[in-house]
Structure 1
């Protein structure tokens, strides 16, 4: 996600959005991503919505997976960014090629104990793997560090590689290191 205004150590400052978009566009160009593809992501401000917009712009279908109902999700994962992220989130959801899926309530003790963000990651991965592991390309904006909580890019990166998908070289939000 784009950094919160009060984040003490920058990870993805808002002024890096253009550079990240350019880097993600280059990855999508290399993959020849387009209308035959299915884009699967969450809807958080930052990498998720940049990816969603770029893929919709290429004519792909988009499945947005949210760990909570949209009105709850946007409070923690979109609206804090103080920009046009909320409008972008709603535009992606409203696009004719987009579908939104909300994580169902946990049914088992294991599900109740798991983070909804991790559960949502695994749900997205299961959907992607349904098309064949060889077709799964995980593109993420990630600095390689542990996240601020469970279910971040690192969790998904490990899950994709363990399942046989391709985890593309992460796009570093602060540029090359």
Structure 2
């Protein structure tokens, strides 16, 4: 299993404001995101899950929450922390290298950042006011494996570098 963060972030790392993205809608970004996560398990926080309830991403949802016991959704399970969520993700991944996507929100990205193997980030052109930000990462620990330019954003896949012992 590979743990992969997926997010769209502005140049100042803003990812949200008042529960929404802080920039005008970018259809190409939404489309590539939905296609990427459609058939894979996803990990997300309870508030993010609730905000997507009408159109849930992924084949299975692992909802990280300390207060909820269940979601009332047949494809969703609750995990009370990072380790339990990763354990559930391993159960749902079909193969050793299958991706499980971390979809946010901000606190979830922070909790899972030390554990992710890759990041697929839509780098949105411009800076925006936000109340939620993607965590900083040490670029010396990561390399860009691929990069695709779109109108208003660049999609970059970051891969954690192997650290020599």
Q: TM-score normalised to the size of structure 1?
A: 0.42
Per chain length, whose mean CA-contact separation is higher, i.e. which structure has more relative contact order (CA < 8 Å, sep 6+)? Answer: 2
